[in-house]
Structure 1
Amino acid sequence: MITRRQFFQFAVAAAAPVLPGMAALPGVAFAASPTPQTAAGHDVLQAVIVPEPAGWVAGLNISNPAVIVSVNIFDGLVTYDDAFHPVPQLAQSWTESADHRTITFNLRKDVKWHDGHPFTSADVQYSLMEVTKRFHPRGNATFATLEAVDTPDDHTAVFRFTSPVPAVWSALGGYETQILPKHLYAGSPPLTNPLNAHPVGNGPYVFKEWARGNYVVLERNPDYWDRQNPPHFERIVFRIIPDEGTRLTALESGDLRYAPTDAVALPDLVRLRTDARFVVSSHVFDGIAPISFFDFNLRRKPFQDLRVRQAIAHAINRDALAKVVWYGLAKPAQGPIPSYQTRFFKPDLPQYNYDPAHAEALLDAAGFHRGADGVRVRINNLPLPFGNQYVLTAQFIQAQLRHIGVELTLVPTDVPTFNRRVYADYDFDTTVNWYAAFADPQLGVTRRYWSKAIKPGSTSSNATGYATPEMDRAIEGLVTVSDPVARKPFIDQLQQIAQEQVPSVNLLELHFYAIHAASLNGFSNTPMGAYSSLASVRDA
């Protein structure tokens, strides 16, 4: 068993440097940085996001920080109550056919885009059929059987499915299925539209300014349709502060009052949970269901041998990883679906227990013998640049693989570089990453293994290049069959195949935390609360 002291003997260096491209600017101290706060302090909510994403449209860039900001700019067709039941938002009502193959949404007539253009059913049709189904990393799975969106008038959108999709009701919020302004996007490639860096939405806050590397400013929408519940704060300023020590200082001084995720080092998080000045909650991430994993690029020859992938899986002590690196705020994953999602989780899946001797035997059998320097194979790894935990995770794995003769070189990146190398150029050997499994595997799990989710340039999709007929059959079964009993065998097959063929090693079930000042209230209490707008947040 590796102790924390033993781990930090080889990982201590990771706590100090920041990834290239994320280095602090001169004068990084929070109080010294240029700030857009010009109104009275209580009219401005100062928050922080980590790290800086490539854009702010969650319908195209689904990274955690992009979603957290974007849900304040864009409303969804529906939002959710505390029990995660859909309630009206852009759609003021809806009806569903008896066979569940048609959903008719009656859209609000008083919604305008932030440029003054009216919101209509044409925006819904364009967004679902031309953007979500084609470019969203999860869209083709969620809406696999959506054949058309009819627009009989400007305020009616009729979704027509070839078979019912119960999972769709978990995906119609603005954090997942985002409606974009057709008049500004149609005719241009959505992924490269300049508006992704300066979005025009229809939600409670208007995008005002992005000072790259410093902050993003949103301003209250004076024409917001919900006159009964207008946004409270005049401005929300999302600070971009790369250094976790600086973030902690800003939180403790009161300069920052909201930190949705990854804001402080885990030892500090443990301490803040007992500090009466703060509220620390993981419930607001329950619906996201994050799973971390070690991905292989199956385009690279060594990983085309199953024995190599199995060997690396056996070389990683996931129990120690959870306890030492993640301070017990995670648990070993048994498969691609979290074990607490009992409706879908399949017990007794193949497991890769920590067994370095067996790992070495597998590598010998695969023809990867130790050289004179003791090294069997040299590979690289790109840790997700979403905070130091992923670097520490990669360093932990690096040390463990060294024991079996695998030399793992870590390649630090910033977010744009990571996205380009992993999802566009496929220029990597392995990665340390996490995806949200979400409330249904159709939403968050299938994209890791489906051949149709290999979409160059689309982030958080199938980066490994994994594609097999048996996995495709399982996924196509679960996305087209609506009866829960008939659907479950396909979900079981997905999990079984994923664990047997190991296109990536499922590492940990993660638990994310949001921190906010106890002087604030009005945060959403739903399982997707961290992906809800801050319109209702106010001073206690």
Structure 2
Amino acid sequence: MKKLSLFLLIAFAAVSLLAGCAGQPKTDTVSYALEAEPASLDPGMTTSLAEANVQAELFEGLTRLDQHNQPQPALAESWDISPDGKVYTFHLRPHLTWSDGTPLTAQDFEYSWKRVVDPEVASQNAYMLFPIEGAEAYNQKKATADTVGVKALDDQTLQVRLKDPTVYFLTLTALHCYYPVPRWLVEAKPDTWASDAAGLVGCGPFVITKWVHSSEINVKRNPNYWDQAHVRSERLEFPISESQATRLRLVESGQANLMVEPPPADQDRLEALGLYRVAPYLGTYYYVFNVQKKPFDDVRIRRAFALTMERQGLVEHIVRARKEAAYAWVPPGITDTATGKDFRAEGGPLQHEDAAKARQLLQEAGYTPETLPEVTILFNTNEMHKAVAEAVQAMWQKNLGVHAGLTNQESKVYLASRMEGNFQVARASWVADYADPMTFLDVFADADNDAKYHNEDYNRLIRQAKETSDQAVRMQYMHEAEKILFDDCVIIPIYYTTQPYVAQPYVKGYHWSPLGLIDLKEAYIDKKGDTK
């Protein structure tokens, strides 16, 4: 009986301890609820933020952005820049290795960057490397890989030749498409090397340990990372759910610490609890037309649909999160370096709202609401995207008399549909890769874009903006290009983004970039649980 009593007492204590720990943070683990299943963790091939946020912990570039979003030495410990600003010589840190202990060298960077612009690889990120001499020509099959201006001079020295002076190039080298990838693994499994946790090798602060698809990704501290002293957590966890409500429940129950884009209906409650935060975010949420699909192959129809939008009400009552209604492509927050003024403020609105004009354009194009071909809005599965699509659907019905169908797809399928042009009008968003208007305007600079749009005058202005070092002239070219984009009505901007997120107060050391990324390298759990 004494033994039984002792056993029951121990069991009761254990249950009590577990009950007391329920919902409490693991002191060595930070958990971020990921908003979508990554299509892949290949940093050269992927484009979404969900993927980039995980990749930022598994890989690293020559530079890494600091708390002020300035590039700092990472895998490169230093660099030299030629007087004309067109030749960069990077010096790698000594004794760098991949997470499995294999040496990491300048040759890995040369291979990885040339792979991104290889036309046979067909990476959607290729354009990000076009500032490099020969990269665009190689990507367009007009030159060979040997002409691309990236060369490993030795194991620790990488030389890069640019087409033109690119003031933001060091920021580019911090982006995921500039990360090195393990050549031996990519060549052994070109299509699957980054689609599972097994055998995945990186070079960042963490190494992957588990990937249950559409459920969770777990990583642990990389023992071979060069800067272990600044890695604060032993583990990171990324539970995955496309549902905003589900991700919020994970955070509020203590099963996760951070999540992005909480449901707008919960904003007031979360603010009262001290969990709601908003970070700056250089991005635009928009609808994109497939300009080669009927009825949107007619610019008058595109303009008609654009004119029926009622952005302010949509932002105030549905989107919320301190978003701003958008009437152009490049968002506020990017400085015109020639004048010191905001680029958006100088350019002004480029699209407006006029339901009567919309109905007139529909008629001029030879249609009535009844004879217009069926229209469908494509969006990826998400409560917010669904709410916006339903609101837009109602606006088009009210202001144009046209009923639009709605189609939602899980993120991986939706991204493929957009890339392949299998849509008429689709939800999209673009977040700046760097703080310059070119990061937005470059999106539509060739025919290989979601809109299937091509305008040689637009392309010429973009080329001229890239070739000149005169900032005043460069900015003027970009203003002119943006106007052409709206004369052709390629997109409907809906709102300029902010980054609303939910964070438990005991999570410290993370950093939200205005480029939309969260850096968890130095994130940790404060056991005292005081406010951030």
Name the SS for the 2:210 alignment partner: strand
In the alignment, structure 1 segments of 5+ residues that lack a partner are: 1-36, 455-461
Provide the secondary structure at the position in 2 that maps to 1:396.
helix
Q: Determine helix, strand or coil for the equivalent of 2:403.
A: strand
Q: Distance in 1 between matches of 2:319 and 2:235?
A: 34
SS at match of 2:312: helix
Match of 1:428 among 423, 428, 431: 423
The 1:529/1:311 distance shift into structure 2, 3 A limit, reads closer
1:445 aligns with 2:440: yes
Whole-Å Cα distance in 2 between the matches of residues 151 and 352 of structure 1?
Answer: 47
Change (3 A) 1:236 1:328: closer
What is the match of residue 364 of structure 1?
363
Q: CA deviation at 1:500?
A: 1.2
Change (3 A) 1:484 1:176: farther
Q: Which residue identity lines up with residue 469 of structure 1 in the other structure?
A: E
Out of 50, 53, 70, which is 1:65 matched to?
A: 50
Structure 1 stretch displaced more, 438-447 or 487-496: 438-447
Instruction: Give the residue type in structure 2 aligned to 1:274.
Output: A
> In structure 2, what is the Cα distance between the partners aligned to 1:303 and 1:433?
17
Q: Which amino acid aligns with 1:205?
A: F
Question: Is residue 514–residue 530 contact of structure 1 (8 Å, CA) maintained in 2?
Answer: no
**What does the per-residue CA deviation read over 1:158-181, in whole Å, with 9 as the maximum and x for residues that have no partner?**
001121111222222144522212
Which residue, out of 49, 53, 66, partners 2:34? 49
Counterpart-to-counterpart distance in 1, 2:25 and 2:499: 32
Alignment correspondent of 2:99: 114
Q: Give the C-alpha shift of residue 328 in structure 1.
A: 5.5
Q: Which residue of 2 aligns with 1:524?
A: 511
Q: Which residue of 2 aligns with 1:267?
A: 265
Three-state SS of the structure 2 residue aligned to 1:222 is coil
Q: CA offsets, 1:380-407, max 9 Å, x none? A: 111133x211111111111111131322
Closer, same or farther: CA 123–531 of 1 in aligned 2, 3 Å: farther
CA distance in 1, matches of 2:485, 2:25: 54
Moved more, 86-95 or 353-362: 353-362
SS of match in other structure, 2:291: coil
The question of whether the paired residues in 1 share the 8 Å contact of 2:315 and 2:325 is answered with yes
- With over 3 angstroms needed to count, the CA separation of the structure-2 counterparts of 1:318 and 1:324, relative to structure 1, is same
Which position in structure 1 is the counterpart of 2:70?
85
Structure 2 residue aligned with 1:413: 409
Counterpart of 1:401 (choices 396, 415, 421) is 396
How many residues were matched structurally? Answer: 480
Residue 268 (structure 2) pairs with residue 311 (structure 1): no
Please report how far the alpha carbon of residue 477 of structure 1 lies from its aligned counterpart in structure 2 after TM superposition: 1.6
Output the amino acid matched with 2:472: V
Q: 1:65 to 1:167 in 2, by over 3 A?
A: same
User: Residue 157 of structure 2 corresponds to which residue in structure 1?
Assistant: 156
Q: Distance in 2 between matches of 1:400 and 1:59?
A: 39
Q: What's the RMSD between the two structures over aligned residues?
A: 2.4
Rounded Cα–Cα distance in structure 2 between residues aligned with 1:40 and 1:265: 23
Check 1:174–1:200 CA distance in 2 against 1; reply closer, same or farther (3 A cut): farther
Superposition map of 1:36-435 within 5 A: 41-131=26-116, 135-147=122-134, 148-186=149-187, 192-198=191-197, 199-229=200-230, 231-259=231-259, 261-262=260-261, 264-276=262-274, 278=275, 280-283=277-280, 286=281, 289-327=282-320, 329-343=322-336, 344-345=343-344, 347=346, 349=348, 351-371=350-370, 376-385=372-381, 387-403=382-398, 404-424=400-420, 426-435=421-430
Q: C-alpha offsets along residues 419-445 of structure 1, whole Å, 9 cap, x if unaligned?
A: 221113x11111011111343446631
Specify the alignment match of 1:534 in structure 2: 521
* Alpha carbons 2:315, 2:495 under 8 Å: kept: yes
Contact 1:279/1:517, CA 8 A, preserved across alignment: no
Q: Is the alpha carbon distance of 1:336 and 1:187 closer, same or farther for their aligned partners in structure 2, counting shifts above 3 Å?
A: farther
Shift >6 Å, 4+ stretches? none
What is the CA distance between 1:308 and its match in structure 2?
A: 0.6
Q: Could you say what secondary structure the match of 1:164 adopts?
A: coil
Larger relative contact order (C-alpha < 8 A, sep ≥ 6)? 1
Q: CA deviation at 1:480?
A: 2.5
One-letter code aligned to 1:225: W
Give me the TM-score of the superposition, normalised by structure 2: 0.84
Taking a change above 3 Å as real, the CA distance of residues 349 and 244 of structure 1, as seen in their structure-2 partners, is closer
Could you tell me whether the CA contact under 8 Å between 1:141 and 1:442 is conserved in 2?
no
Q: After TM superposition, give the deviation of residue 92 of structure 1 in Å.
A: 0.5
Deviation at 1:187, TM superposition (A): 7.6
- The structure-2 alpha-carbon separation of the partners of 1:194 and 1:150, relative to structure 1 and needing over 3 Å to count, comes to closer
Alignment of 1:486 onto 2:473: yes
CA distances 1:438-488 after superposition (whole Å, capped 9, x unpaired): 434466313431115x1xxxxxxx111000111110111222323312211
8 Å Cα contact 1:435-1:444 kept in structure 2: no
Segments of structure 2 that go 5 or more residues without pairing to the other structure are 1-21, 135-148, 337-342, 528-532
Task: Report the CA distance between 1:525 and its aligned residue.
Answer: 6.1
Q: Residue 517 of structure 2: SS of its match in structure 1?
A: helix
- Aligned to 2:521, the other structure's residue is in SS state coil
Shift of 1:369: 1.8
1:28 matched residue in structure 2: none
Distance 1:279-1:522 versus aligned 2 partners, 3 A rule: farther
Shift of 1:513: 2.1
Distance 1:477-1:533 versus aligned 2 partners, 3 A rule: farther
State the TM-score, normalizing by the size of structure 1.
0.83
Using the aligned pairs only, state the percent identity: 23
